[in-house]
Every structure is written in C-alpha cells, then in structure tokens.
Chain A
Amino acid sequence: MARSRNHEQWTSPPPFTQEEYVDSRIYSDQDIFEEELEKIFKKSWIPVCHESELPEPYDFRTTTIAKEPIILTRAKDGKVRAFLNVCPHRGNMLERAPSGSFLDGSPSGNPRHITCMFHAWQFDMKGRCVYISRQEEGYQDRLKKSQMGLRELKCEVYFGGFVWVTLNDQIDMTVEEWSAGSLEVLKPSLDEEPLEVFHYHKAIIPCNYKLWHDTNCEFYHDYLHYHNRITGFNDAYFARKNTGFDNGHINVGSFEVQYDNYEGSHSREEISFPHLPPNHWYMIDMFPGVNFNLRGSSLRCDIMTPLGPNEVMIEFRGLGLKNDDAVTRRSRIDHHNSIWGPFGRNLHEDLLAVTGQGSAMNPRAENRQILHGRHENETIHDENGMRHFYEEWGRWMDRMPSNPDKPFVERTTATSATG
C-alpha cells in the first residue's frame, strides 16, 4: 500500500525554488553554529541593552556577544563605552554582576574604578589601566600601565537609546548605515523623547536562534494566537506589507488592532508613542537576531544570544517613555504584559511553538525541508521576510540555506521561475 510519503519523497526537494525552503541542518548542526558565531555574530552590530539601564556616570552593565563577555560603562563625560569584560593580567572576568555602579569601592579596589578582584589591577571608565599592584617591584620598567588598557569595542547609542556593540573593528558601517533604512519607520516614534525600560526577562529555549527570528519575521503564525486572530484578521491586517532592506533586515507595516474584540482586553487608543496612530503595530526584524515591536502603547525588543545549535537565550525588554506619569506607565506595563509578559497570552504560545520545532529537528534526523514558499504580494502572510533573511545568511556563511553543503549562489531571475 502506498504510504503518505516514503523516505525518498520526504527528502526530495519541494515544488519550490531553492530560495523557498531551507534544510533543517542549518538549525541543528554544531559546525554551522560555531561558524555563525565567527562569520555573523562577531561581525555585525548587535544592540545589547538600553542606555536607561546605565543612566548615571560610573554605572555599568554586562553582557555577551558570541561567547565574549562585555562590559559597558558610562563615564563622567556621559558617554557609554564597551570593553571586553576581561582583565588584561590573567584573563579573569572583571565584573560579575549584571549591572551596578562603580561609585563605591569594591573589596579589592577604589571607588570610581573597575577593579579586578584577583590581583587588584584597576581601570577607569574609559578603559585605561590606572593601577597595577606592586608594579615596579614585579615589572620594573618592562610593563607600563599605558600598555595594559582594556580591549575597547566599537559602541554606538542609536535608535531610541539602544546601545549597539560590535566585536568587529573592521566594520565600515555606522549603526545607521547597517540598519539600511529598516528602522526609519519607527525612528520618529522612538527618537522624539527619551525612552525607559520597564520590563526585562529572559528565556533559554531549546531551539536554534533563527527559529525564534523566523517567528518574529512571519505573521502567518497568527493562527497560533487566538488573541491575534480575533483582534486582527481583517482587510487592513491582510494588507500589511512585509519589506526587505539591505543586510537582511525587514519590517512589517502597520494596521489598527481591534483590541476590544478580545474579551477582557481594552483599546490602547489613549496611550501611544509619538507619531504613532492609536492602536497601531509596527515590527522590525534585524539581521541576525534582533526584533523591535511597537504595539500600541509599548515597545518590545528581543535580543537573541545563540548558546548552541539547539539553544538560544532571548532577552525580552518592554519600554515606555521616560517622562510617563505613574498611571500611564502602569497602563503601558499592563498592555505589554497581557500579551508579551512571561504570563501573557501570546509569548507563551510563540515559545511553545519554537520549542516544538527545536525538539523535532535533532542533528542527523531524517532531513526536513522547512518551507518558506508563501507568496502573497509581499503582504503579511507572505514569507518574503524569511526568504530575505536566509538570502543574507547564505551570503555571510557562503552556504546555500537549502543545502548547506553547497557554496552560496546569488539568486538569478532564472532560478526563481515559479516565484
């Protein structure tokens, strides 16, 4: 008796062009993962936090990109700088706390200094080495403090106060150039007045980081969310545009969400963001794993830190306007959490779905083709956003997403005959 699909049928290419599906090995292969850290995450601009997380001089914040520990400081000049969070003496991690202030001294060091607790070397907020314990006795004149500064990384504050860092000294683009126009749709809303983070939580999920990014890039999965079906799914929703930009970024146009249609939910029309029409909803997905999501009254930002081929840490932030009064802020928080909090309606559903993908895509599994073949005039349920991402991914990795053993070949009109 014929089976619904045997091995050969299951593993042979779908009736799509090569750009319209990817091989599941790109979500599970250890070597591809390590290569992604080297070729992509160590080369691009990554937002790591928001400037409101280190508001005062001598404040600091720690993070990592591609397994490299990073510390951000704010100096007396108000500038935020980024350094490897690594002591130049014997490689100890300098600061272990997620955030804090160097105003007070530490057990091994002086106020206003970063002190390595191990042998008490000290650094200022600009990364300069200012103290080496028993320097002359041990190093005579062979080693100078001026040679022992911290490794400083390129850092910019851009787009509503987000702090961007790159491990790539050779990068020839500012963050604005890197964003290639994808952020423009929200710049007026985010740059009008200072923002503030009111929500932070993190999730470590057993799935590849790209699967989370895919979920942020496609809205076809609104079938997963009762909330979005009932408050969305009308003509204006289906007309939302999915637009690709250089460097693999995309954004998704807005429409007016009918929040009242969900029982117990309320319109957000009284609270919005500057220049954002009430109840509107824009989404920006930046290569390789960043999401900005402005929905009515609150801004969400996801930052992905890949931990393994099948493990990603996602940091979720919620932001409002810094000068919110208490009542307004409280409403923003409630609106944000009802959908996107760890106990909210939608986030849990999204995380369940990618967990399901992660647990069904083990290395050496019988090959799966992950379909990205929907064409709906580049509107909301088109999958052009994911196709755009994987084209860029293929370029950076020099691998075909549909067959990662093959080198990347630029798309030609001939190969997208069915497109």
Chain B
Amino acid sequence: MSNADAVRDSIYRSCMYKDDMKWQEWLDLCDEDFQYSITAYSPEIRNDMIYLSGDREEMRGMMKMLPKHNTDHSPLKRHCSVYAVDLEDDGSMATAVSSVVVYQTQLDGINSHVDAGESKVFLVGRYFDKFRISDGVAKFVEREVKLDTRKLDKGSHYPI
C-alpha cells in the first residue's frame, strides 16, 4: 500500500469505527499528540468558531463518560470521500481533505413510534486531517471537522 493509500485507509477506517461507535478503535488510529476539533464559520457573527475540541485523552475521557449521560441514541453514519492527499517530500507526514455528510437515523430522539427508522442529513462539512506515517501506517495527528451546518438542533454527544 502506498503512503497515500495508507492515509485514505485511515480516514475510511476512522469513519467505520465511529459509525459503529467503536471509540477505542478510532482513537487507536490516532497518535499520542492527536488533536480533534469541530469548527465552523458563522456568517452571523462573522467569525470562526470552535464547537468542540480535545486531545486524544480528552476524547477518550468524553467517550468513557457517555453512559452516564442522557443522550439521543439515534446512530450517525458518515459518508466520506477523500478529495486530496498531499504527502510531504520525505513521506513522513501528510495532509488530506475529505468531504463528509453525516446521516442520522432516528431511534429515540423524538417519538420513536413515528420517527424511528427515518434517516436525515444531520450535518455536512469537510475533514481536514494531518497524519504521521511510519512503516506504511498513517496515524492521525490532527482532525478538524469544518462544518457547513450550523443549525444543529438537538446536537449530539458523538464526535463526527
């Protein structure tokens, strides 16, 4: 597998793990100094915003606490297309830009008798990722989820 393929593989695997709520497996794709953030630009306040952020341990902690929280258990599924992978000359680092659409399939968010099973677009945005590559494995060192969607209604406890 080429280094660019290794990057794509990590991106798609991260989607799969998060879709399946395998948070530990997702974080295992990330390097120790991993930084996660969800950001958006607001045309209302004309400013860049951060909606969520954390390093690997903080994300791990947040996921660990989930069972203590009331939450909308409607699953999120990510549809992702990797648009561009750029490798550094020595092949040790890479950046990638992907498009992402997240669908939510209602389970218990509203009135399950009526809504359960209905899928809707939850949000759209892009992934801006940075990787460290060694021995053909691309590990995330940074993921910025840049959202277009800013009307997030009930929101979510799940990372995107």
Q: Which residues of A contact B (CB under 8 A)?
A: 52-53, 61, 97-100, 197-206, 224, 226-227, 262-264, 317, 330, 333-334, 337-338, 341-345, 347-349, 351-353, 355, 359-360
Main secondary structure on A side of the interface with B: mixed
Nearest CB of B to A344, in Å: 7
Known: A201-B150, A203-B151. A263 touches B50 (CB 8 A): no
Known: A263-B64, A337-B51. A200 touches B42 (CB 8 A): yes
The answer for the CA separation of A224 and B61 in the assembled complex, in Å, is 20
Q: Inside 8 A of B52's CB, which chain A residues have their CB?
A: 337-338, 341-344
Segment of B25-33, B97-105, B133-141, B152-160 engaged in the interface with chain A = B152-160
Most buried by B among A203, A204, A343: A343
Cβ-based interface call for B116 (8 A): no
Nearest CB of A to B60, in Å: 9
Q: Report whether A53 and B45 are in contact in the complex, using a CB–CB cutoff of 8 Å.
A: yes
Q: Inside 8 A of A337's CB, which chain B residues have their CB?
A: 50-53
Query: Can you list 16 residue pairs at the A/B interface with Cβ under 8 Å?
Result: A53-B44, A201-B152, A205-B153, A226-B68, A226-B69, A264-B58, A264-B62, A338-B52, A341-B51, A342-B51, A343-B155, A345-B69, A348-B72, A349-B71, A351-B154, A355-B154
Within 8 A of A (CB), among B124-138: none
> Which residue of chain B is the closest to A341 with respect to CB atoms?
B51
Nearest CB of B to A152, in Å: 23
Nearest CB of B to A317, in Å: 8
Q: Report whether B43 and A97 are in contact in the complex, using a CB–CB cutoff of 8 Å.
A: yes
> Which residue of chain A is the closest to B62 with respect to CB atoms?
A264
Q: Inside 8 A of B109's CB, which chain A residues have their CB?
A: 352, 355
Q: Report whether B69 and A203 are in contact in the complex, using a CB–CB cutoff of 8 Å.
A: no
Cβ-based interface call for B65 (8 A): yes
Most buried by B among A198, A227, A262: A198
The interface on chain B, measured as residues whose beta carbon lies within 8 A of the other chain's beta carbons, has a size of 36
Q: Inside 8 A of A52's CB, which chain B residues have their CB?
A: 45
The answer for the CA separation of A262 and B152 in the assembled complex, in Å, is 25
Q: Which residues of B contact A (CB under 8 A)?
A: 38, 40, 42-47, 49-53, 58, 61-62, 64-65, 68-72, 109-111, 150-159
The answer for the CA separation of A133 and B65 in the assembled complex, in Å, is 63
The answer for the CA separation of A316 and B29 in the assembled complex, in Å, is 34
The answer for the CA separation of A303 and B153 in the assembled complex, in Å, is 14
Nearest CB of A to B108, in Å: 9
Q: Report whether A343 and B51 are in contact in the complex, using a CB–CB cutoff of 8 Å.
A: yes
Q: Report whether A348 and B154 are in contact in the complex, using a CB–CB cutoff of 8 Å.
A: yes
Q: Report whether B154 and A200 are in contact in the complex, using a CB–CB cutoff of 8 Å.
A: no
Known: A98-B43, A334-B53, A337-B51. A348 touches B61 (CB 8 A): no
Top 4 A-B pairs, shortest CB-CB distance: A264-B61, A342-B155, A343-B52, A342-B152
Known: A206-B110, A348-B71, A352-B72. A343 touches B45 (CB 8 A): no
The answer for the CA separation of A104 and B110 in the assembled complex, in Å, is 45
Q: Report whether A201 and B65 are in contact in the complex, using a CB–CB cutoff of 8 Å.
A: no
With beta carbons under 8 angstroms apart, the residue of B42, B53, B62, B155 that contacts A351 is: B155
Q: Inside 8 A of B51's CB, which chain A residues have their CB?
A: 199, 201, 337, 341-343
Nearest CB of A to B88, in Å: 27
The answer for the CA separation of A42 and B157 in the assembled complex, in Å, is 36
